[in-house]
Each structure stands twice: as C-alpha cells, then as structure tokens.
Amino acid sequence: MRMMVRFHFSPSSGNDDIRSGKVPKVFEQLTADLKPEAAYLYPEQGERGGILVFDMQDPSQVAGVVERFSFGLQAKVELIPVMTPDDLQKGLAMVPTSSRTTDRLARSSFNADPMPRPYQPFKTVE
C-alpha cells in the first residue's frame, strides 16, 4: 500500500542532530530501506519537516518507520495512506453504480434512521 509519512522536528534539537551528523545518517538509512518514490523537505509549523511517499509491503513496517523518526529525530510523525489517480480510478470502479444496488443500500438497516433522536429522559411515575 502506498503511504505518505509526514514528519517535523524541532529546530533546537535538529541543530544538534545536524552538527553531530545524525540527521543525514537517519535519512540515508530511511531512504535506503524505504526506497521512497518521492521525498520532499520543507518548513512545517516553524520546524524542519518533510514527506516521504513509499510502498508499505507489510503493516508491521509502521512501527519501524515511526520509531526511526521518533527516536532518531524526536519527530512528530503521521502515516497516511495515499493513492495515485490510477489507484482512485481502480477503486471507484469497485463502487456499485446500478440503481438497484444503491436502492438496496439506502434501505438497509444501517441507514434506516439517519437522524439521531434527541435525548428524552425517563418520566417518573407518581
């Protein structure tokens, strides 16, 4: 599954990590392991940030990716599934389009009462 990891880390700790050579090592290892199809670095909320887009082969990779950014750079990290226009077209092709299917879905018990009822407390019996 194609994933985008968005991250940002503090300039103060980032300065020390850059001086020590830690930032280039972390990015070199991440790009070697993830083989991202795209990588962009930019300022994010007054901090150093960026995104990497890569193909996640297995959900267990989540821990390794997040922890490398967290421990390696003390970064805040988000993992977001993303699609290309071709992926979107493929996904939309699986959406039912016949009126018979959409009518059945509209009448299903899941959609039976789309408006929640207001809370009405129990009445006390005297």
What are the structural domains, with CATH classification, of the chain?
2-83 (3.30.70.120)
Residue 22: the pLDDT is 87
Which position has the higher pLDDT, 20 or 96?
A: 20
pLDDT band at residue 79 under the 50/70/90 scheme: very high
pLDDT band at residue 36 under the 50/70/90 scheme: very high
Q: How confident is the model over 24-46, as a mean pLDDT?
A: 92
Tokens of 43: 């300022």
111, pLDDT greater than 90 = no
Residues sharing a CB contact under 8 Å with residue 30, sequence separation 6 or more, in sequence order: 52, 65, 68, 69
77, pLDDT greater than 90 = yes
Give φ, ψ of 88 to 5 degrees: -60, -45
Can you tell me the distance from the alpha carbon of 47 to that of 9, in angstroms, rounded to the nearest whole number? Answer: 6
Q: Which of 3, 11, 4 is nearest to 75 (CA)?
A: 11
Please report where in the chains the tokens 């077209």 appear, as a residue.
89
Maximum pairwise Cα distance, the chain: 78
pTM: 0.69
Q: Which of 35, 104, 31, 37 is nearest to 69 (CA)?
A: 31
The per-residue pLDDT of the chain, averaged, comes to 83
Residue 49: the pLDDT is 93
Q: How confident is the model over 70-92, as a mean pLDDT?
A: 91
pLDDT band at residue 18 under the 50/70/90 scheme: confident
Instruction: Give the 3-state secondary structure of residue 60.
Output: coil
79 close to 64: Cβ distance less than 8 angstroms? no
